[in-house]
Structure 1
């Protein structure tokens, strides 16, 4: 891919991350554990895991946004750095959204056929968490489809360079 296409993709991803970060920050700043338990009485340890996973997603997104901004600010566009960053965004943000390490939620692979939302919780979750993830899901799905190429391409380049 040429530099202008990769640069355009990086700008697109930067915009996606800015919106995502804003939504995640707003949710975390306005939501307490007490409110989650009032909203839907449930497993406090599980709720803590959900909030921790959302925080992790926020931190990963902020880090990736900084990387995008640094690359886009440079007077010379560094294609290799941009490709590596897009690869990192695919794994650190997008894949972490659909399949978090904590396993508090997961992606239902059948959702693509049913048109339903893909995120399923391991246990009952408060409605506000469900709404947040459903609100973000479409954007994450779109970015995943756009970045799958970089994931495959970057891995191929790394294998060939060894």
Structure 2
């Protein structure tokens, strides 16, 4: 892929991550465990795990956003660094959204065919949690499709360098 195409993609990812960070920060800054319990009484440990998963996603998005900004603000564009960053965004942000390490929610892959949201929870959760993930899903789906190339391309390059 040419430098201008990779740079354009990195710029799009920067915009996507900026919006994601903004939404997650707003949600996490305004939401408490006691508010969640008032909205829908549930298991504290489960709610804490969901909030922890969202914080992890936020941190991953923030770190990758910063990296995108640094690469794009450099006088000389480093295509290799940009491609590696896009690969990391795919793994640390996109995959973390659809399949978090905490396993508090998961992707129902069949939902994409029905036009429904693909994020499902293992237990009952307050609507505000459902809404925040629902509001992010379309962009995560879009960038998942756009960045899958870097997943296979980067792995291929790594295997060839051995």
Offset of residue 130 of structure 1: 0.1
Matched, 1:114 2:114: yes
Match of 2:59?
Answer: 59
Offset of residue 113 of structure 1: 1.4
Match of 1:92?
Answer: 92
Match of 2:139?
Answer: 139
User: C-alpha separation between the residues in 1 aligned to 2:107 and 2:19?
Assistant: 22
SS of 1:41's partner is coil
Offset of residue 115 of structure 1: 1.1
Match of 2:82?
Answer: 82
Offset of residue 54 of structure 1: 0.3
Match of 2:71?
Answer: 71
Match of 2:158?
Answer: 158
- CA displacement, residues 108-162 of structure 1 (integer Å, 9 cap, x when unaligned): 0101211110000011111000000000000000010000001110110111011
TM-score normalized with structure 1 length? 0.99
User: C-alpha separation between the residues in 2 aligned to 1:64 and 1:155?
Assistant: 19
Matched, 1:127 2:127: yes
User: C-alpha separation between the residues in 2 aligned to 1:158 and 1:126?
Assistant: 43
How many residues were matched structurally?
Answer: 162
User: C-alpha separation between the residues in 2 aligned to 1:152 and 1:7?
Assistant: 19
Match of 2:47?
Answer: 47
Structure 1 gaps of 5+ residues are: none
SS of 2:120's partner is strand
SS of 2:139's partner is helix
User: C-alpha separation between the residues in 1 aligned to 2:30 and 2:161?
Assistant: 47
